[in-house]
Structure 1
Amino acid sequence: MGIRITGMASGMDTEKMVKDLMKAQREPVNRLQRNKYSVEWKRDAYREMNTVLADLQNSMKNLRMSSSFNKKVATSENDSIVSVTSKGTPAMASYAIEVIELAKASTPPKVEFDPGTTDPKTKSDSNFTLTLKKGTETINLDITTDDSLESMINKINSSSAGVKATFFNGKLVMSSEDGATFNVSTSNVNNNFKISDTPSSVESGGTEAIFKINGVEYKSKTNTISFDGMDITLKQKNAGNPLVISTKTDVDSVYNMVKEFVDKYNAVIETINKKISEPKYKGYQPLLDEEKEALNEKTAEKMDNMARSGILLRDPILTSGLTELRRALSTPVQATGVNTAFDTLSEIGIGGPPPGKYAYQENGKLHIDENKLREAIRNNGEDVLKLFTNYSPEKTDLNKKFQESGVAERLYNQLDKIMGKITKEAGASGNIYDESSLGKKLKQTDEEIERWEDRLKMIEDRYWKQFTAMEKAMSKAQSQGSWFAQMLGQR
């Protein structure tokens, strides 16, 4: 940049004149910058919709799994004799339980030492090796003068010896976890913890529980057993008088899962419907930085929001996507094994809004008839399961695959397609430039802005050269005029 002379000879505000001239020259760049803001807003709006759709898809994980519909509740005829909780999917509707003997706990193999102290912080007075041997496995633990009785116990408990140590009432007790005998030995029998070479006792006492389930006898070391997806606790003997454990579909669990899906689906389509019907305000366009600076913050924010509104008005990707989601939910499931009396959501109590003056405003929201849905889950649980989760093995005929698939499977796949279209248009979150349509457009706009900025720099330099030349010429003319005036004055 050369020397710039600013109105010294002419008296004109050259800097302001150049700035005013450049305003007109910058108009093409301003249009590009506004367009860039609009594209960025549209990209961000698309990505926001993709986040909403992905959240819905992720929430449908359980709805696509048969196990989610097979949850059972198990109840006992008499909890004081046998109690039960269901943790899986029991195969039968009832189980006859007869408790012949209850299990009694045994005393595990153990070794007991008297360290002669009541303080677990007492430190070792020497370095020694503590050896724990169980069967063919030998574990050596190095105990140093930095170790206290407490830290030695921690070393034992964190080892793989299968021996646990405790310090209680002044006694150091080591016991076997699995009932196998073990030996304790030390490299220094004179240690102040008074640990010596000692074999453990053997497991003593204890009896196994003996019980029958549906006439088949079983044994267990404990009174709590896991059987066919149930945790059963034996409490009293009832030999010769078996009681019944009954299982049935966990209606509340399945109903709540379906209701959570419906609520999430309704929230998502409400969000999308608002976006595609958002009003567009003509005459408002993105503000440039200098325009924002000239306004107060609230006014600038309001004008930007007006310009941003309607960025996805009647968007074809989202509009057609909502149509496809409704089709996935409303089309009957047509597949072998699917009960035609339960092949649509409406037949289990999930449908559109009740008829009325404002029903059209629901825009595809789902409504639940709670009594009808609960009854379907309770009495036709297998049919409800297939309606949601039926899987089609069809590979080539996509229309057939759609018809045979359960509504949850269809919806999941349709969400995949919609999000794929949006990603192709707007890219993935976090990417500034990518191969999406809007990403390419942004890159091209930035490149065009950069070219224009270079061009404007040249134009501005040319203006300054012209004004500088004018100022120099006027300054020279003024100097000559002064000289002539001085010469004439001397005569």
Structure 2
Amino acid sequence: MATISSSGIGSGLPVESLVSQLMAVERAPINAIDTKEAALTAKLTAFGTMKSTLATLQTAARALATPALVSPVKTSVADATVLSASAAGGTATGNYAIEVQSLAQQQKLKTSVSYTNTSDVVGTGNITFDFGSYDASNNFTADPANGSKTITIDAAHNTLAGIRDAINGANSGVTASIINDGSGNFLSLASTSTGAKNAMRITADPALGAFAYDGSASSEMTQSVKAQDAVIKVDNVLITKPSNTISDAIEGVTLTLTKTTPTGVTTNLTLAKDTATVKTNIEAFVKAYNDATTSMAALTAYDVTTGKGAVLTGDGTVRTVQTQLRALMGSAVAGAAAGAATLPDIGITTQRDGSIAIDSTKLDKALADPTKNFSALFATSNGNRGFGAQMDVTLGRILSPVGTLPSHTNSFNSTIKDLEKQRATITSRLADVEKRYRAQFSALDSAMASMTTTSTYLTQQLAAIAKA
């Protein structure tokens, strides 16, 4: 009897075709799962796009929700080598004549004794630093606010380099360094803070007497830089400060001094409203809003001609977000002054397609009007939220991990995981089904092949008898 080596060879039965067709029917549930998963994946991608545009809108809204960015003040210094200035949002505009009579300095001292090598042994004991001020007669008055700091120099730090390291490691308000002038090494000490009240008085045990200083001519250390306050005149008003960074001379303005001016010579500081920055921030907000609304419109569009909708057509979550944003943009800000309480008041209007547009002429006029309070309109003022602040909060809720969008997409992801489990279960079952089909058709193929062989044999025998 013939041996069947592969399905269908013995009988001519189309086993592969039959199995393939039967398995196509069996795979119908998987095809349905693939279709559902593809649809959900497309929605996830669409929501990812939506999330991205809304996040960009939130960033732009947050800029407008920041008072300093909707009422910024531009500073201009006539001689930028003398000082620089920055102003907080909402600072009053104006002009100031500033004279810089002296810069704040940190006191610096140097040992009178020089050392051949930094590894030279000096001695052990205590060094105590007090901080305060010296009068014209070099009498020292300690400043209680600065306290006193004692550093113990042990055998491990008894060299010049070791003393330097011990002082620097003590966080005492003093930094130490070694200076070599070509003839020897000197220890230099500097107060870490500028100002006349941060001068040092140093007492030391006998072995460390080379580091003592009390302001007198007999002090072991010498003063190379005097502790000094910054002294300036603002519109002829004398102001003394311990630092070269002064933030309380002109309200809302921080001055950073870099150079003194000749006696009686002033440089002019101008504070002006920075309308260009405000306009740029508003334009960025309008663009981000339009990008977000255009994206959502495209994702939910319906083509009447083809009768087909976009991937998110009919999605309730998108409609909810669209409704929230449109309602917010059409409202008035509570507490804002009349004439600057709505977006149309400053030239921003809603178009028929849901986008917003800027009337540049009207916006420029509003920006130049000192009665228009842009901080109240966009930021938070007196407990009332402006458009930028409201938009920031609204989008924060929508984009929050427990907000509208994440909750919706989490549901999609959960469904996709369930579909993947169903696919794995069905795929495993289909392997067994295909194996069973192949076994059944192989048996049928063998049986049919056997019957064909027997039929041929009987035909031959009958033919032989007939000839006999």
1: CA distance, partners of 2:406 / 2:6? 54
2: CA distance, partners of 1:453 / 1:281? 40
2: CA distance, partners of 1:407 / 1:318? 21
Instruction: Give the structure with the larger strand fraction.
Output: 2
Deviations 1:351-379 (A, max 9, x none): 356xxxxxx6xx33333333432332332
Are residues 1:231 and 2:254 paired? yes
The question of whether the paired residues in 1 share the 8 Å contact of 2:43 and 2:311 is answered with: yes
Deviations 1:312-370 (A, max 9, x none): 2464433453343233122222x24x2221111121122356xxxxxx6xx33333333
User: Residue 450 and residue 108 in structure 1: after superposition, are their counterparts in 2 closer, same or farther (change >3 A)?
Assistant: closer
Name the amino acid aligned to 1:426: T
User: Residue 388 and residue 484 in structure 1: after superposition, are their counterparts in 2 closer, same or farther (change >3 A)?
Assistant: same
User: Residue 202 and residue 348 in structure 1: after superposition, are their counterparts in 2 closer, same or farther (change >3 A)?
Assistant: farther
Residue of structure 2 equivalent to 1:9: 10
1: CA distance, partners of 2:433 / 2:332? 68
Name the amino acid aligned to 1:425: H
RMSD, matched Cα: 4.8
The question of whether the paired residues in 2 share the 8 Å contact of 1:46 and 1:422 is answered with: yes
Name the amino acid aligned to 1:376: A
Q: Secondary structure at the match of 2:332?
A: coil
Deviations 1:106-144 (A, max 9, x none): 752233665547xxxxx9599998986534331658879
* One of 371, 377, 392 as aligned partner of 1:412: 392
User: Counterparts of 1:24-423 in structure 2 under 5 Å?
Assistant: 24-75=25-76, 79=79, 83=83, 85-89=85-89, 92-94=92-94, 101-103=101-103, 105=105, 107-111=107-111, 114=114, 116=116, 134=129, 135-138=148-151, 157=168, 160-161=171-172, 162-170=174-182, 171-178=185-192, 179-182=199-202, 198-199=211-212, 201=221, 203=223, 205=226, 208-211=229-232, 213=234, 217-221=238-242, 225-227=246-248, 228-232=251-255, 233=257, 235-236=260-261, 247-277=271-301, 310-313=310-313, 315-333=315-333, 335-336=334-335, 338-352=336-350, 363-380=353-370, 383-390=373-380, 405-416=385-396, 418-419=398-399, 420-423=403-406
1: CA distance, partners of 2:189 / 2:40? 71
1: CA distance, partners of 2:160 / 2:61? 54
2: CA distance, partners of 1:389 / 1:223? 33
Which deviates more, 463-472 or 35-44?
463-472
The question of whether the paired residues in 1 share the 8 Å contact of 2:30 and 2:423 is answered with: yes
What are the ranges of 5 or more consecutive residues in structure 1 without an aligned counterpart?
A: 118-122, 190-194, 285-308, 354-359, 394-403, 428-435
Residue of structure 2 equivalent to 1:192: none
Count residues with an aligned counterpart: 419
The question of whether the paired residues in 2 share the 8 Å contact of 1:128 and 1:143 is answered with: no
User: Residue 7 and residue 282 in structure 1: after superposition, are their counterparts in 2 closer, same or farther (change >3 A)?
Assistant: farther
User: Residue 326 and residue 152 in structure 1: after superposition, are their counterparts in 2 closer, same or farther (change >3 A)?
Assistant: farther
1: CA distance, partners of 2:190 / 2:394? 57
Q: Secondary structure at the match of 1:373?
A: helix
Deviations 1:202-236 (A, max 9, x none): 65646545455577653234665332332334733
The question of whether the paired residues in 2 share the 8 Å contact of 1:98 and 1:237 is answered with: no
1: CA distance, partners of 2:460 / 2:19? 35
User: Residue 143 and residue 263 in structure 1: after superposition, are their counterparts in 2 closer, same or farther (change >3 A)?
Assistant: farther
- Cα deviation for residue 55 of structure 1 reads 2.7
Deviations 1:242-281 (A, max 9, x none): 9975534332332222222223223333333333338699
2: CA distance, partners of 1:215 / 1:90? 25
User: Residue 371 and residue 152 in structure 1: after superposition, are their counterparts in 2 closer, same or farther (change >3 A)?
Assistant: farther
Are residues 1:463 and 2:446 paired? no
TM-score computed with the length of structure 2 as normaliser: 0.70
User: Residue 140 and residue 6 in structure 1: after superposition, are their counterparts in 2 closer, same or farther (change >3 A)?
Assistant: farther
2: CA distance, partners of 1:452 / 1:65? 56
User: Residue 155 and residue 259 in structure 1: after superposition, are their counterparts in 2 closer, same or farther (change >3 A)?
Assistant: farther
Name the amino acid aligned to 2:63: N
- Cα deviation for residue 487 of structure 1 reads 9.4
Residue of structure 2 equivalent to 1:289: none
User: Residue 156 and residue 373 in structure 1: after superposition, are their counterparts in 2 closer, same or farther (change >3 A)?
Assistant: farther
User: Residue 452 and residue 207 in structure 1: after superposition, are their counterparts in 2 closer, same or farther (change >3 A)?
Assistant: closer
Deviations 1:77-115 (A, max 9, x none): x64997551242575555766759535757522336655
User: Residue 101 and residue 29 in structure 1: after superposition, are their counterparts in 2 closer, same or farther (change >3 A)?
Assistant: closer
2: CA distance, partners of 1:405 / 1:107? 49
- Cα deviation for residue 53 of structure 1 reads 1.0
The question of whether the paired residues in 2 share the 8 Å contact of 1:9 and 1:474 is answered with: yes
User: Residue 91 and residue 5 in structure 1: after superposition, are their counterparts in 2 closer, same or farther (change >3 A)?
Assistant: closer
Q: Secondary structure at the match of 2:108?
A: coil
Deviations 1:377-422 (A, max 9, x none): 33236622111124696xxxxxxxxxx6421233224334554333
